[in-house]
Amino acid sequence: MLQSPEGFMIEYALKLDFLTTNNEAEYEALIAGLGLARAVRAKNLKVCGDSRLIVAQVNGEFEAKDDTMAKYLRVVKGILTQFDEWYAQHVPREENTTADALSQFASSEIDNYPRSIYFQVLKTPTIHVINLIAPVGVARCWIDPIKTHLETGWLPDDAQEARKLSVTTLRYSLIEGLLYKRSFIIPYLKCLRPLEAEDALKEAHEGICGQHLRGRALTHKITRFGFYWPTMLADAKAYVKNVTDARGTHQ
């Protein structure tokens, strides 16, 4: 849960789809919250957590002796350097009923969650993927020219294409090397490559949702999970049609 200086509240639930300890889950939630704060361009941060141990480690009062915990702590410390000011405070769970309700929601099998809540499923521990670089064999796609322009200022030689790219990139941001689309929906939407988009379509249609959706509803669900690619509506409609046709063939 994130609160802006103006009092605007963003409710965010994270479901961990892998085996983890309670302390590791606390770190995953903290990293997700810090990423959300980065996405909304927060400068000064107050972190409230119900784990006294994690708060103490982040504040430097306790050491993280376990190797996994030490890795998580290094990731958190690295992200915190990107804020002007921050401090962490322990808040007992019973004193933060909203956050407790979100944690209960994320661990449940609720399909029709409230639209005000941003919900994401994490398949892999953050410490296993945060420093990975995309394999050389990954095919270039729509993401690459936008990302290259934001990183280096590169523009195509063709004047018309250069203007088009300059305008397009105004709608995107790079956060820790990943491309996000700026949106009226908060947090920003993580941009997906084609193979990632295929996985998102399949999981949203048959996995996380627990129900079969039509094209627009499927697109909306994926957006609520925080993902984006330019052809998502057309791809969602095509995916639903293919699934429907396949079922009809097997009936």
Q: Would you say the pTM of this structure is higher than 0.75?
A: no
Residue 77 covered by a domain:
yes
> Do 104 and 151 lie in a common domain?
no
Separation between Cα atoms, residue 109 and residue 111, nearest integer Å: 6
CATH number of the domain encompassing residue 63: 3.30.420.10
Q: Are residues 118 and 216 in the same domain?
A: no
Q: Which domain holds residue 37?
A: 2-129
Flag whether pLDDT at 120 surpasses 60.
Answer: yes
Q: Is 48 helix (H, G, I), strand (E, B) or coil?
A: strand
Residues 32 and 123 in one domain: yes
Confirm whether 135 is domain-assigned. Answer: no
- Does some domain include residue 171? yes
Residue 134 falls inside a structural domain: no
CATH number at residue 169: 1.10.340.70
Number of compact structural domains in the chain: 2
Same domain, residue pair 6 and 122: yes
- Compute the C-alpha angle 220/102/30, nearest 5°: 95
Please check whether residues 229 and 161 belong to one and the same domain. yes
pLDDT tens-digit map of 15-40:
788 888 999 999 988 988 887 787 67
pLDDT digit string (tens) for 234-251?
999 998 888 777 766 555
* CA distances from residue 31 to 6, 75, 111, 157, 248 in whole angstroms, order as listed: 23, 8, 25, 40, 44
The answer to the question of residue 52 being in a domain is yes
Is 125 found in the same domain as 149? no
Q: Is the pLDDT of residue 178 over 60?
A: yes
**Pair 150, 122 in one domain:** no
